[in-house]
Amino acid sequence: MRTRVTRLLGIDYPIIQGGMQWVGLAELASAVSNAGGLGILTALTQPTPDALRNEIARTREMTDRPFGVNLTILPSINPPPYAEYVDAIIDGGVRIVETAGNSPKDFIARFKAAGVTIVHKCTTVRHALSAERNGVDIVSIDGLECAGHPGEDDVGGLVLIPAAARALEIPVIASGGIADGRGMAAALALGAEGVNMGTRFCVTKEAPIHDNIKQALVNGSERDTALIFRTLKNTARVFRNAIAEEVVSMERRPGGCVFDDIRPLVTGTRGRAALQSGEVDNGVVSAGQCIGLIDDIPTCAELISRMVSDCQNRIEATRKYFI
C-alpha cells in the first residue's frame, strides 16, 4: 500500500495512531510502528520536556521504525513551555510531528529546519487550507465521529474527507470513525491517502489502559458516546459513563453552567486515574463512535494486518458492482 503518506512518513501502511493524552506512551507507539504503521507519543502526557526526552529514548529502545510525537497547542492562562517541548522533539531526533489545536505556525520554521515532517490535525476545510498555506506537509482531517474535540461545525467524515481532499494539494489523512478495513477502504475512496485511529488503538493489548476500560469500549455501541462541553463551545466526544451523563445534565439545566461548575468532574488527573484503575464511571474517557465497530482486543500487529487485508478485500469486492 503506497501513497504519498507512506512515502513522506517512511512507513509500510498508511495507518497512523492518533496522539492521545495519557495513552501515547512508548509501549503503544513502538507496537504500532513495529507493525508497519506510525506510532505517536503524546508530548503533553509527559510532565516536562526532559521527561519527553526520556520517553523518546525509551521508544527508540523498542523500535527502529519511524515514530512521531503529538504536540497539541491550546490556549491557556498558564500554557506549558511549548518551545521547550519542540526542543525536546528536535533534540530527540524525531522526524515526524503531529500538531493539533491551535496553528503550529510559530514552530513550523524550526521543525522544517530540523527536517521534521509536520502532520496537522484539524476539523474544518478552512483551517486545513490555512495549515497548508503555513507550510505543513500533511493534514489529518477530523470528522464529527471522532473522540476528543471534533470542533463546532458538526461535519461528518463522509462529507469532510472528500471536501478536504478536493481543496488541498497536500495529502489528507482521514480521522474519526475508522476502526477497520472497511473504514480504511472508504477513506481511500473518498480521497484520503491514509487513516488516523485513536479509539481503535486504545482497544489493543499494548494500550496502557486498564482492561475494564477496554472491555467497556468493546461492549459499547455507536450510541454509547456523549458530546460534552457543547454549551461552552469546546465540544468533546467521550464514552457515555456516569460522569459524562452528569456533565450533560448540568449543561442542560436552566441557565446552563460555567466550566468551574463541572471542573471537579472533568479534571484530567481524574480521567487519567480512571484509565489506570479501571473505574469506568469515575472519570472522563475519550471515545469515538467507532466503538460500535470494535468487538475484540487484538495486538497492534494483529489489528494492522487484519485492516490491510480487509481493506484490500473490500476494494476488490467493489469491482463486482461495475461488471
Tell me if residue 38 falls in helix, strand or coil: strand
What lies within 8 Å, CB to CB, of 269 at 6+ separation is none
User: pLDDT by residue (tens digit) across 245-289?
Assistant: 999 999 999 999 999 999 999 999 999 999 999 999 999 999 999
Tell me if residue 213 falls in helix, strand or coil: helix
Tell me the CA end-to-end span of the chain in Å, nearest whole number. Answer: 24
Q: What percent of the chain has pLDDT over 70?
A: 100
Q: What is the sign, positive or negative, of the torsion defined by CA atoms of 19, 25, 30, 31?
A: negative
Q: What percent of the chain has pLDDT over 90?
A: 96
DSSP E strands in the chain: the ranges are: 15-17, 39-42, 67-73, 96-101, 117-122, 138-142, 172-175, 195-197, 225-228, 236-239
Helix axes 259-266, 268-277, angle to 10 degrees: 20
**Between 43 and 1, where is the model more confident?**
43
User: pLDDT by residue (tens digit) across 190-237?
Assistant: 999 999 999 999 999 999 999 999 999 999 999 999 999 999 999 999
Cα separation, 196 vs 219, in Å, equals: 22
Q: Can you say how many angstroms the Cα of residue 194 is from the centroid of all Cα atoms in its chain?
A: 13
Cell reading at 275: 484509565
Query: 226 pairs with which residues across the strands?
Result: 238
Note the maximum CA span of the chain: 61
Cell reading at 124: 474544518
Dihedral angle computed from the Cα positions of residues 24, 55, 119 and 85, in that order, rounded to the nearest 10 degrees: 120
Domains parsed from the chain with CATH numbers: 4-208+295-322 (3.20.20.70), 225-286 (no CATH)
